[in-house]
Copies of this chain bind each other. A is one copy, B any other.
Amino acid sequence: MNKKFSFDIFNTDKAARRGRVTTAHGTFETPTFMATATGATVKAMKPDDVRATGAELAICNTYHLMLRPTAERVAALGGLHKFMDWAGPIVTDSGGFQVMSLSKLRTLNENGVTFRSHLDGSAYELTPERSMQIQHLLDSNITMCFDECTPHPATPEQAAQSMRMSMRWAERCKKAFQPREGYALFGINQGSIYPALRLESAAALTALDLDGYGIGGLAVGEGQEAMFTALGAVVPALKPEKPRYLMGVGRPDDIVGAVLRGVDMFDCVMPTRSGRTGQAFTRRGTVNIRNARHCDDARPLDDQCSCVACTRYGRAYLHHLFRGEEMLGPILLTTHNMQYYQDLMRDLRQAIEQGALDSYAASFHDTIARGDIEARL
């Protein structure tokens, strides 16, 4: 049970790494893509179906869960693993990002943030210490430091001020975090699009000697090129023996590019959120299943995919479900998108093992560039 938290790297291919993280609740292979379970549920999927796609790690959200059902209630009910029936490892986001994007009447100062709930307007305070306490109560295997996700765009001065406060908060997080065998605390690198600030942040986190690195404040509107530039600057400055987690990223091509640049962990709402609105990821790009061209098409969404939506149904049926606003539509498309992302990660891991990541990435881009299968007349 209570295994030591560890990260083993088996293979590398240039900057990319193929590894395994061990926690008190089992292992996950890297590079990994987490199942987004913000409110202690992967939207539209049962945990067994999530696991069946190959997902090993789930991410829940401190902000959402502190408001409802509350961390104290989850703890009384035995922690998140039991509450949501997820036996595997769990990461929790610290709440910083969601306080900024969702809550009302925020006041941020050196101590932390006071805000009003977006659900009922009641007042809360979130500090580095309280965030650590909440994540402990939730029984998260990987606790993220409480930080400010620097908004984009930010001037170098704004970015520096914000990043330095996050680094002071990271120190407070380390003091407040209660270490347990098989549990980890990750710092979060900030510094906006400025390489010098990213490096200053990396040095501060490295000095704190935490268990892994989050890379935050990217994919917030700066564009893929700027994100890759920032990654190219900061990743070489991180201790290679610790896992690197690019937070909130991203589209399939973002992930391929970030793995090439040495990132090990990802999370994003894209597969689940898109699945609910009828957008599917396929090996030949994205497909909007609501489009009328699918209404007579008996062919699967993606004939390379092993998911239930692709092996049991034609596009015509999926189209029919979305036209009729049937819940099975979001269920099937979310399952498909999760399977697509997990297949992508499996293929990336395999390519790294074979030292063939560059050629895998080239073929990935070529296949997407072909576009969706042509409509039948």
Chain A contact residues, CB within 8 Å of chain B:
39-48, 68-69, 73, 76-78, 83-85, 295-296, 298, 308, 312-314, 316-317, 320-321, 323-324, 326-328, 330-332
Contact = CB atoms under 8 A, between A and B. Distances in A.
B46 A308 contact: yes
A42 B321 CA distance: 11
A129 to B, nearest CB: 26
B68 A298 contact: no
Contacts of A326: 39, 41, 43
Given A84-B317, A327-B327, 17 more contacts: A41-B324, A41-B326, A41-B328, A42-B328, A45-B328, A46-B328, A47-B312, A68-B320, A68-B324, A73-B296, A77-B296, A78-B298, A83-B317, A85-B313, A85-B317, A327-B330, A327-B331
Contacts of A69: 295, 316, 320, 323
A124 B184 CA distance: 64
B73 A316 contact: yes
Contacts of A46: 308, 328, 331-332
Given A296-B73, A320-B69, A323-B68, A331 B85 contact: no
Contacts of A77: 296, 298, 314, 316-317
Contacts of A45: 328
A122 B366 CA distance: 45
Contact of A76 (B39, B296, B320, B328): B296
The 6 closest A-B pairs by CB, nearest first: A44-B327, A85-B312, A41-B328, A69-B320, A41-B326, A39-B324
Contact of A41 (B40, B42, B76, B321): B321
A82 to B, nearest CB: 9
Nearest to A67: B324
A58 to B, nearest CB: 13
A85 B296 CA distance: 16
A47 B76 CA distance: 36
A36 to B, nearest CB: 12
Contacts of A73: 295-296, 316
A43 B83 contact: no
Given A317-B84, A320-B68, A324-B68, A44 B298 contact: no
Contacts of A324: 39, 41, 68
A370 B119 CA distance: 37
A311 to B, nearest CB: 9
20 contacts: A40-B320, A41-B321, A41-B326, A43-B326, A45-B328, A46-B308, A46-B328, A46-B331, A46-B332, A68-B320, A73-B316, A77-B298, A83-B314, A83-B317, A83-B320, A84-B317, A85-B317, A327-B327, A327-B331, A331-B331
